[in-house]
Structure 1
Amino acid sequence: MPDTPHILRNARIVLPDAVIHGWLRIEDGVIAGFSEGDAPAGNSLDLRGDLLIPGLVELHTDHLESHYAPRPKVRWHPLGAVLAYDAQIAASGITTVFDSLRAGTDIDGGGLGSELLALTEAIDEARRGDLLRAEHRTHLRCEIPSPDVVEVVQDYAARFPVDLISLMDHTPGQRQFRDVEKYFTYARRSGKSLEEIKALTELRMTTGAERAERNRPQLVEIVRRRSIPLASHDDTTAGDVEQSAAEGATVAEFPTTVEAAARSRAGGITVMMGAPNLIRGGSHSGNVAAEELAREGLLDILSSDYVPASLLMAAFQLPARVPGISLPQAVATVTANPAAATRLHDRGRIAAGLRADLARVQLGGTAEMPVPVVRQVWREGRRIV
């Protein structure tokens, strides 16, 4: 990291409660100070009036899978996939990313659950070689009806750090896929025939509940024993939320109904929704729209989910879509709020003494539909884009 001070001047700086036009100083990888007006003398970079925001914090992206498995039955070089994914993450303004890696194999042996270690070892290799732009942390997506999920998580947690665990149940007929026809459409991406998908769907529906009931408490015990932040996933009913709260969940990932989001918030659980949902104007699965939750005051965090660039775009479109939400509040949904939810109190805000994780953003598009362009990104004061 640089030892000499560096000043970013002529910037519109997005603070937690205001936007100021001024300068910011970086020293030894942290924010040493900032103010309105002209910058003090010293080595400086003119941002030409562009916005300067905290580096984004992404809690749930499974986009690495798109690089590693770009086509059905195709596997790319693991390290090459990690580096391409990391470059796209950084170019999206994300300086801290929780790589959402699936734990547990599918009932038919498909999916990427069996390749969890290959991807983790590739990330670890890139980290040891100082090849990564963003800071990578691990989010284990635990598919609780999986036949081997408990054993996989136990083995993984004994060998690697785990920074977030989510409990997922994609059994057709409930939660995200209450509409089974929607599940059929989603499952066709696997390349299987409709007849094969229907047969597997019936098998999942008959075995999923029993496995989930057995596996869930064992996974919760692992979380508690290791003090890992816990996220629920696709909570739909009041009962779902009550169970998540009793298990100690602090983040509700993609609740599918207003009721589930409201009950989560009332129980002190932070509500996270997908940025693609906001940009597209609704859920691809037919569930509650992120914009609706934002209008109800029930949206705390945005996640890019499957499109990294959507994270910043959604943050800048949120004030245009929902009157009453300011730009600092919208930016907090992709910076300060996800950082706080995962106990990362050294980042996510522009404040003296915090990490100099920053993104320079220029705006394109229109006032009604802004399209942010990432021009430069710094992590701990070092430029990565």
Structure 2
Amino acid sequence: MTMRKSDAILEEMMALHPKFMDLTLDRMWRLLDKLGNPQDKLPPVIHIAGTNGKGSTLAMIRAGLEAAGHICHAYTSPHLARFHERIRLAGALISEDALAKVLDECRRINGGTPITYFEITTCAALLAMSREPADYILLEVGLGGRLDATNVIARPAVTVITPVSMDHEAYLGDTVAKIAAEKAGIIKRGVPCVVSQQADMAMEVIEAKADRLGAPLIANGQHWHVWKEHGRLVFQDEYGLRDLPLPVLPGAHQIQNAGTAIAALRVLDAGDAAYEGAMRDAVWPARMMRLREGALAELAGNAELWLDGGHNPAAGQAIAEHLATLPARPTHAICGMLNTKDASGFLKPLSRVADSLTAVAIPGEANSLSAEALAEMAVESGHDTTTASSVRDALRRIVAEAPDARILICGSLYLAGAVLRENG
């Protein structure tokens, strides 16, 4: 396959990565200044941080705003199959020509100065979004918040903090309170902040930061509530009760994400069409995604094939809870994980719902755990475990032994991307 021009530029950008990766915004400010400060020329921004649920919440807010007739740009990470997924302009993925042009401009103006891959591509995204008209921009934090490359917006329309839990401890801290402090770094003076359900220690940190900056908090359990009742989603805040369809994104954890999205849409005064659209129209790949078509789906035959990119203990718990709600069926997991993640914490809740786990390495990822190393952790977490050379090999073996099984491929967004590319 011929390499796209954007892929070639992205490869060159990888070489600019500093030898020592310190979290700082200095490199961002330097390049943004050379680019004419596109971050100051954007439509109203909805800035979203958190450990789990950022992408799903963003997808619901975007679906709601678009259902209400608004034009939206969006910036998310990481991508699954191709980089273009990270940047949406007026609702559509950025074109190859537009992406190559803006990446090349950033590369040229940066001039070989050390900068991380995420920083320079974030600059490219901000530049692209500053040049196309829109009503809103949805901006997802990459890592943390306080020193994340996206945290260069002086005054967003609203900030959102989804549930905070342990992840990226090497960069963000070894307690939930420390991680919450980093996430709370997106809070801006006087800007409303919508907060999902949090552990007490995380909420205390977020409340203290908001209080110091005079930022109004709209917090779950205090200012709004959300629950499932009679097959519907019920949202209540000081303005009244909303009876809505359940979110189209599967999983009990999506009720909380849906409530967070609705609370943000209420801050934006988006209206009834937005609330309905957020529940009905959201699309977020590789989050309890059923694969019904494609090469791997065909190989699965009569088996149910599911894909999820969750990779931390909270995600493992959410996946397990969702699987427990499905009709009884033998369930087999195929799992690959990075060596930077808490594999044992992710795997342990899955041992309650999976009859077996096949460990694989993530293809093309230098930081992937080997199948053998992951299998050892899975055994310690209570799984009946084996290894396979690839997802296809694992799938073929499971289907041969349990043709009507439920099969979940999980453990990493990088694995999910490889699966989606292979599935076609």
| TM-score, normalised via structure 2 length | 0.26
> Which of structures 1 and 2 has the larger relative contact order (alpha carbons within 8 angstroms, sep 6+)?
1
| TM-score, normalised via structure 1 length | 0.28
Which of the two has greater strand per residue?
A: 1
